[in-house]
Structure 1
Amino acid sequence: MDEKFHLFLKDHHVLNLTTCKDNQPYACSCFYAFDLKNASFVIASDSKTRHMQDALANPLVAGTVTLETKTVGLIQGMQFTGHLNEASKAHKRLYYATYPFALAMLPELWTVRIDYAKLTDNRLGFGKKLEFKRN
C-alpha cells in the first residue's frame, strides 16, 4: 500500500463501515487503528450490534474515511472494500496502543483486511486518485 494512504489515515481516526445481510445494507462509524504493513483496520464493536451481526453472516464489508471540508482543493477521502475477521493478538496490541483508554472496557476487536482501496487527494491535483489492490 502506498505511503500516501498511510499519511492520510494517520491523520484520521473514524471510518464509516457498511455491511449487508439479506440484501439489506447497514452503516456505522468506528474508531480505527491502522496497520500499514498488512493493509488492515482494527476496530472495536460488540458482536451483538446489527452491523456486527451482519458482518458475521457476510464478512464482505465496505467503507470510507473522509476529511470533512468545503474547500475543493483540500478534498481527501478513501473508499475501501475488505473482509472482516476477529482481530489477532498483534492487532489487539495495536488497537490498545492507539487507544489505551479502551483497555478499561476490553471491547471485542475486529480486523478489516483491505482488499481494494481508492484514495482521492485533491492536494495532489484535482481528482487525483491512487488505488490499492491486494494480490
Structure 2
Amino acid sequence: MDQRIINFLQNNEILSFAMQDRNEVYIANAFYIFDILHFSFIIASDKNTKHVKLSIINPCIAVNVYQGKKIALLKGVQIKAKFMDATKEQEKLYYHKFPFVKFQKDIKIYALCILWAKFTDNTLMLNQKIEFQRN
C-alpha cells in the first residue's frame, strides 16, 4: 500500500461504511484505528445493530474516509472491504486507543479488511489518484 494512503488513514479516525442484503442498503459511521500490518480498519459496534447484522449476511462492504471542506483541499479514500471479526491482537489495539469500550455491554470489535482502495488527493498535481489492490 502506498505510504500516502497509509499516512492518510493513520491521521483520521472516523469512517463511513455501507452494506446491503438482498433487499436493502444501509450506512453507518464508526471510529476506527488503522491496522497497518493487515491493512484493516478496526471498529467497535453493538452486535445487535442493523449495520452489523447486514454486514454479517453480506460481508462485502464499501468504506469511505475523507477530509476537507473545499474541493481544492479534498482528500479521501474509497474502499472495498470485507467485514469480519477482529483478531485478539486487533482487539488489543482497539482497546489501547479506546479503553472505555471494553466496559460497554454488547460491544464487539470487528475488522474491515481492505481489498481495494482508491486515494484521491486534490492537493496533488493533476488531481492524482492512487490505487491499492490486495494480492
Give the shorter-chain TM-score range.
over 0.9
Contact kept in structure 2, 1:45 and 1:52, CA below 8 Å: yes
Amino acid at match of 1:74: L
Say yes or no: does 1:118 pair with 2:121: no
Amino acid at match of 1:98: K
Give per-residue Cα distances to partners, 1:47-95, cap 9 Å, x unaligned.
Answer: 211111101111111110010312x331100000111111100100111
Secondary structure, in 3 states, of the residue corresponding to 1:102? helix
TM-score relative to the length of structure 2: 0.93
Give per-residue Cα distances to partners, 1:83-132, cap 9 Å, x unaligned.
Answer: 11111001001111222232332620000100000000112224211101
**Aligned residues, how many?**
134
Contact kept in structure 2, 1:73 and 1:126, CA below 8 Å: no
Amino acid at match of 1:99: F
Match of 1:56 in 2: 56
Match of 1:90 in 2: 89
Match of 1:28 in 2: 28
Structure 1 Cα separation of the partners of residues 72 and 134 of structure 2: 29
Identity fraction in percent: 34
- Note the 1:1-80 alignment, pairs <5 A: 1-70=1-70, 72-80=71-79
Structure 1 Cα separation of the partners of residues 26 and 131 of structure 2: 25
Give per-residue Cα distances to partners, 1:12-65, cap 9 Å, x unaligned.
Answer: 111001000114110000000101121100011112111111011111111100
TM-score relative to the length of structure 1: 0.93
Structure 2 Cα separation of the partners of residues 62 and 23 of structure 1: 17
Secondary structure, in 3 states, of the residue corresponding to 1:123? coil
Q: Which consecutive unaligned segments of at least 5 residues does structure 2 have?
A: none
